[in-house]
Structure 1
């Protein structure tokens, strides 16, 4: 099963944007982006195993292994410049994927790290250790469309296992020394996000030897749902593609 979902194939596009979902998220989260981005950009959304149309695939429980699998799957799609956009858990995975791509001689042109603390400052919250109600409570607190699914008992039974796996995966993440990223990084956060403050987001500057920028938009952890036009505009401006 392919690792990527491309809502709209664009063979003429000059660039690909690889989008990595949050914990409990799936590729469908980025489907609306395909219509919103410039025709010069092709959206490729990562589909983690164990959910949606990959429900039968085994979970990956190690974040570094997951990054290696994603980077490996990207190889055939690196025939044109690529940027990475990751939200929350996806931001840390995007960073690790970028490091691997850089090591292999095909670095992305940019990394967008959304709604996340930097790799070396992950905090000590442990949602994965909570009971089912506790995990649901954490999802509702974060907001986003996944929280609504948790209210339906049948959906909850399907969704909880991969949500718990994702929290365990990102909460076990430890930053390792090695390749220093030289790719430019833009951190984007919501001004009311209780999980990452502006000073914490500025820590992403330490994750790269390249240029760093911080964009703060109105909203909470899932600010990008309400602020999609502003996020897309920031991507266009940064990547210097026509809107």
Structure 2
């Protein structure tokens, strides 16, 4: 493992630094999302867990950087930074686009001889499933979808100027995830927990169950009441899943 660099902090945001953590949780935002989306997770799990929220290029304080519209390039950048972090048992937690990024990160870690403890794949159909989508081709289509999914603060949604300022990152993210392809038989050894909303227009129950084909380590499914952003609507229930995971992980480590 190489040493962390000063530039790693551009990617890795620790809102509640943990001086002596027992485990690490890497949080991966949705398309158009940013690291602070997971601030409540950091508040709930620190200091026992080193909660690292990933900030993608092209948004907030990284707005001057060009957003990445190739998912493989984005994953490679995140992976190189994570491999330089001090070693800890690693759990990956991604929502929507972040779930796909988490899966690809697990593949890269395993190829390097490191198996994450678990992937928490939230709000996203299995990697091998495909829908014919091309939202990134139209700014109006992107804005309409974001408003429909209600994944951004209401004040931003109602501010057309702010929405258009966010469009370069949104456009790149949508292109990255909508052009991503994965074979139906590509699998990791990392266990996967799938979290999905029962009325999510982006993921049917069958598409969520299909994650089972992508792991040799076991897959369990948690269904929540809500749409695409059930993760916010049912935050306490989602947090309980995370807390139970780290409690079990700690018990196993102690044993």
Root-mean-square deviation (CA), in Å?
1.8
Counterparts in 2 of 1:231 and 1:217: CA distance versus 1, 3 Å: same
The structure 1 segments of at least 4 consecutive aligned residues displaced by more than 6 Å after TM superposition are none
User: Which of 58, 65, 71 is the equivalent residue of 2:79?
Assistant: 71
Which residue of 1 is the match for residue 4 of structure 2?
none
- Confirm or deny that 1:215 pairs with 2:206: no
Which residue of 2 is the match for residue 52 of structure 1?
60
User: Which of 91, 103, 106 is the equivalent residue of 2:99?
Assistant: 91
Q: CA deviation at 1:91?
A: 0.3
Q: CA deviation at 1:199?
A: 1.4
Runs of 5+ in structure 2 lacking a partner?
A: 1-6, 251-255
Which residue of 1 is the match for residue 197 of structure 2?
190
Counterparts in 2 of 1:97 and 1:178: CA distance versus 1, 3 Å: farther
Which residue of 1 is the match for residue 47 of structure 2?
39
Q: CA deviation at 1:60?
A: 1.4
Runs of 5+ in structure 1 lacking a partner?
A: none
Give yes or no for contact 1:63–1:169 (8 Å, CA) kept in 2.
yes
Partner deviation per Cα, 1:45-94 (whole Å, 9 max, x = no partner): 01000001111112212111111111111012251111000000000010
The whole-number CA distance in structure 2 between the counterparts of 1:20 and 1:122 is 21
* Pairs within 5 Å for 1:103-142: 103-130=111-138, 132-142=139-149
Counterparts in 2 of 1:120 and 1:148: CA distance versus 1, 3 Å: farther
Q: CA deviation at 1:150?
A: 3.5
- Confirm or deny that 1:170 pairs with 2:177: yes
User: TM-score when scaled to structure 1?
Assistant: 0.93
Give yes or no for contact 1:115–1:190 (8 Å, CA) kept in 2.
yes
Give yes or no for contact 1:118–1:204 (8 Å, CA) kept in 2.
yes
Which residue of 1 is the match for residue 3 of structure 2?
none
Aligned length: 241
User: TM-score when scaled to structure 2?
Assistant: 0.89
